[in-house]
Amino acid sequence: MLSTRELIVKLLSNFGGRKEVDQYLKQFAKVEQKRFAVIKVGGRLLADELEALATSLNFLHQVGLTPVVVHGAGPQIAAGLAEAELDPADWAQRSSPRALEVVRRVFRRENLRLVDTLEEMGARGRPIVGGVFEAELDGSSAHLTRVHTDAIESSIRAGYMPVLASLGETAGGQIVDLGPDLAVSALARLLQPYKIVLLRAAGGLCDEFGDLISAINLAEDYEPMLAEPGLAPATRHKLELSHALLEDLPRSSSVSITSPDLLARELFTHKGSGTLVRRGERIVLHPDLSTVDRPRLAELLTAAFGRPPVADYFERKQFWRIYLADSYRAGAVLTHDGPVPYLDKFAVTSEAQGEGIGGSLWQRLARDVPRLYWRARIDNPINPWYFQRADGSYSRGPWTVFWSGLTDFPAIQDCIERALAEAPTLGPAHSLGGAE
């Protein structure tokens, strides 16, 4: 007879391989319980996605993980104030004793709705509506002055999941609706969690074409993304919030943006389900080999391709540019012995998979080198990733040649011939160390 934990792990394995699930469970188990994760839940999710939310939180509880959950109640408060014939936009009315009683009542009700649903599913939740966040008011603005974690730590020690309302109190006893963003930010800076999860019905962030952004490397991607004219306001907000959070957390911390029903897949599989945001690392351009640590580059290529580069690789190549992540866990080597630059190596180690470094590296290439060609074996598992990023491709025998930024046929034909002429002697050229 399987235990509840074994059943949950078996179910999670349907999302990814059993090894993936076990790897993440061991990884999370090493983290102090109160530092595992802080999960932000907006009031809209409580209204529309309560069952999916509770189911995912119950999953975590059943495998022995205890996140700290912080929720808002914006839509519910607005409805409660409207029912009381109070205008939420009028600060005098919003801060009146009558309005504050509505706010207190709504937060208590929504908090208990989530806790009761968790209890019905077998998880142990503890409602915490006040006593955590101290605040002071400056006009209509609230500022957090202190965070008390006694109730959180007591809950976790007793085996309960803390469910916090984003409700603060002033020294004079007035309650303040902080909103979950402010509450989560303050709590995260104090607890220094391994994960911060921002839940939303729409799931992960999408680019201007509506495609999911699976990973963001803030060191490389933050400024270019903010500069995109088509960036949706909601995406901009989440991006800025993630950046502000991770600036004050250890490099090992990350932000996951996903939907309640896909939370388990986001946390327990390499592929994930939403957007993983990390502080990341810079991509450094080396114009030649003089500033490259050759042994470290050789280690990267060996790790990515499963064998070391040929003995005279660094002597016989006409290197044009080498792009390397600070950690040497990702790199791109370009040569330029013809009219169009050739991508000779593109490598990301398995350790760096899922961190967005490969995608950031490619975006840097796309910005710096608009005309480019490369090749890969026809059965390379990374080819679907290449097809998405190439403007065209040509397959012959065991090889596929890709190109981007090329429109004239003679240039394309020349690139194909050059790539295929070298292919028999050079062997497989590209690897991400697995799909990213």
Mean pLDDT of 159-170: 95
Whole-prediction pTM value? 0.77
pLDDT over 90 for what percent of the chain? Answer: 59
- Rounded to whole angstroms, the Cα distance separating 413 from 146 reads 66
Q: Give alpha helix (H) positions in 171-274.
A: 180-191, 218-226, 233-247, 263-268
The residue among 132 and 173 whose pLDDT is bigger is: 132
**What's the distance, CA 190 to chain centroid?**
21
Least confident among 64-73, 194-203, 347-356, 397-406: 347-356
Neighbour tally for 8: CB within 10 Å: 21
Place of tokens 């911060």: 196
For 264-281, the pLDDT digits (tens) are 888 887 677 899 998 888
What mean pLDDT comes out for the span 165-187? 92
What the block records as the tokens of 121 is: 């599913």
pLDDT for 427 equals 42
CB 177 within 8 A of CB 75: no
pLDDT of the residue at 431: 46
Going through 119-214 in order, the beta strands assigned E by DSSP cover 125-128, 133-138, 141-147, 161-165, 167-169, 175-177, 195-199
Average pLDDT, the chain: 87
Q: What pLDDT score does 88 carry?
A: 75
Task: Report residue 142's pLDDT band, with 50, 70 and 90 as the boundaries.
Answer: confident
Confidence of residue 196 (pLDDT cuts 50, 70, 90): very high
Burial class of 13 by CB neighbour count within 10 A (0 to 12, 13 to 18, 19+): middle
Q: Please identify which residue in the block is written with the tokens 């102090």.
A: 32
pLDDT at 92 (0 to 100): 74
In which band, very low, low, confident or very high, does the pLDDT at 74 lie, cut at 50, 70 and 90? very high
Give 24 or 421, the one with higher predicted confidence. 421
Q: What is the pLDDT of residue 432?
A: 42
pLDDT digits (tens, 9 = 90+) for 15-58: 555 666 777 777 787 777 778 999 999 999 999 999 999 999 99
Residue whose C-alpha is closest to residue 37's, from 197, 233, 146, 235: 197
β-pairing, 275-278 with 215-217?
Answer: parallel
315-368 pLDDT, tens digit each: 888 899 999 999 999 999 999 988 999 999 999 887 676 567 888 898 889 889
Residue 166 has pLDDT above 90, yes or no: yes
Query: What is the reported pLDDT for 337?
Result: 85
pLDDT at 252: 82
The closest alpha carbon to 111, from 162, 174, 58, 59, belongs to: 162
Alpha-carbon torsion (24, 27, 30, 31), positive or negative = negative
The per-residue pLDDT for 414 is 95
| Most confident of the ranges 126-130, 226-230, 260-264 | 126-130
